[in-house]
Structure 1
């Protein structure tokens, strides 16, 4: 077992665990968005930034940083709260997240984080471009305007379903999640129609067709349930 300090509390963790896993066991809240249990960590959104004082105050993503013996971590402070809010505001500024018209309104992790961090306005200029909505799939749709590029759908498809349908294309504000190297989702030759990507999506970017405003409720925990039920070799 490894002993570290989280917000002044001595915590024990197993070797190979991350700071986020140790914090969860200790009941210490660290906000996340791109992280989802059952999928590999990526540290893409940076909302789980923590300060490691034993590393000179270095900021690291808690979801992707392994614990070390004697590590002293600050998981919650005014500095971290301001950094997380700034990151969240930039996510809102990059795409069109008008909650009142979204199928996931009231059931959105991005919206929940805004409430938790006290974000009632965006201090940065909006940079979003009007992207298309792909409704070519028989059961599902993807609205790129709601996407936060967390990659949870990409990992769910590749790691849990094994189809590897989704991937990233473009750069910067032009980055999109696309199926089969840019094919319309409904024409994908690899998609199994399982819906795991939809359940993994934290916003209204991926949704079930026929859902109106506020009607899309997801179960992201199903990814962990599936992986835990699979037999181990």
Structure 2
């Protein structure tokens, strides 16, 4: 629980205490209440991109993303209603229908957050027609590969590159179905002068969109648990530099 004023709220009929600057997601996780997420990652600024963490808040006419919604005194939150579960399943099916997510031939099969979410939400098939927009694979980098067909536009790579590494290599170009991940103003990744080849973007990617070269199906294991520590260290260095 963060410092400052302490407020009380209810999440799934459970009384919870929280700091006034905390989000619903933070308080829920502190109290052992599971809310699914895909774009969210501890140590990165939350953006509410995937909408899988939507919850019902009393007084609101629409579901709200838990990762960017601040708590308030007396708030009443529900996280597991039938309507929410169906909306999350539909959102996940929409994500799956927009790309190539054939797990059997993916380098992160068995280590994929999208795959884990599908299992948890009971999505064993997609009711929507596959869109399969033409998206290129960028294998120009000597160590890593970008497969845009498996990208879910969570922007984790964009944020870790900007907020933790400070390189600002990644961005998103286009709108809607034509949106895609780009490096250095749409240059091939291997030619991106800003890239430090640190690999942080690869480690925080929740799918097989970014992976180490030379990995076979199911071999790529992501390691993002050190991210909050790296973020804290960078913030400390920034504060010391400003003194």
Quote the offset at 1:10 in angstroms: 0.5
Deviation per CA, 1:193-231, whole angstroms, max 9, x where unpaired?
Answer: 000100110000000000010000001222212113446
- Answering whether residue 79 of structure 2 is matched by residue 78 of structure 1, we say no
Among 24, 30, 43, the alignment partner of 1:19 is: 24
Question: Residue 151 of structure 1 is aligned with which of 148, 155, 158?
Answer: 155
- Partners of 1:14 and 1:144 in 2: CA distance: 39
* 1:33 and 2:41 matched: no
Map of 1:210 onto structure 2: 214
- Residue 50 of structure 2 is matched in structure 1 by 45
Q: Runs of 5+ in structure 1 lacking a partner?
A: none
Unaligned runs of 5+ in 2: 1-5
Match status 1:102 vs 2:103: no
Q: Distance in 1 between matches of 2:171 and 2:62?
A: 31
Give TM-score scaled by structure 1 length. 0.97
Aligned pairs for 1:1-233 within 5 A: 1-53=6-58, 55-230=59-234, 232=236, 233=239
Give SS of 1:129's match.
Answer: coil
The aligned length equals: 232
Distance in 2, Cα, partners of 1:220 & 1:81? 27
Distance in 2, Cα, partners of 1:56 & 1:113 = 26
Separation in 2, partners of 1:114, 1:22 = 24
* Structure 1 position 172, deviation (Å): 1.3
